[in-house]
Structure 1
Amino acid sequence: MRRLIFVTEKYVYFFDEGNKDMRDLLGGKGANLAEMTKLGIPVPPGFTITTEVCKLFYE
């Protein structure tokens, strides 16, 4: 039986919750969209999942 162990407690981040320094957590695209939102560049509302959850999905 495989057991899932998560390191972080939050797995979904809205674009306005992140920034460019969160690349390891949100991935490149997620961090860039978050930074663009923070800078006021028009970005459709959205969210990104953490890289940890994404890796587990692909397994």
Structure 2
Amino acid sequence: MYLWIWRRLPGTWQTKAATALGLVVAVAVVLWYLVFPWVEPKVQFDHGVVDGPTPTQSAKP
């Protein structure tokens, strides 16, 4: 797949590399600012919450 994209990009290898880098940056920006904020409320994250007593609660005398 990447070879197919590389062959379709115009110019020399320097131009192709710059264009490919620009495309990667553009995709990352779209994901970071549009897709991830839209998906975040729909996905349930537990943020590392563990059920059960914490170490300070279990050390009661």
TM-score above 0.5, yes or no: no
Which structure carries more helix by proportion?
2
Question: Relative contact order: is structure 1 or structure 2 higher (C-alpha 8 Å, sep ≥ 6)?
Answer: 1
* TM-score under structure 2 length normalisation: 0.28
* TM-score under structure 1 length normalisation: 0.28
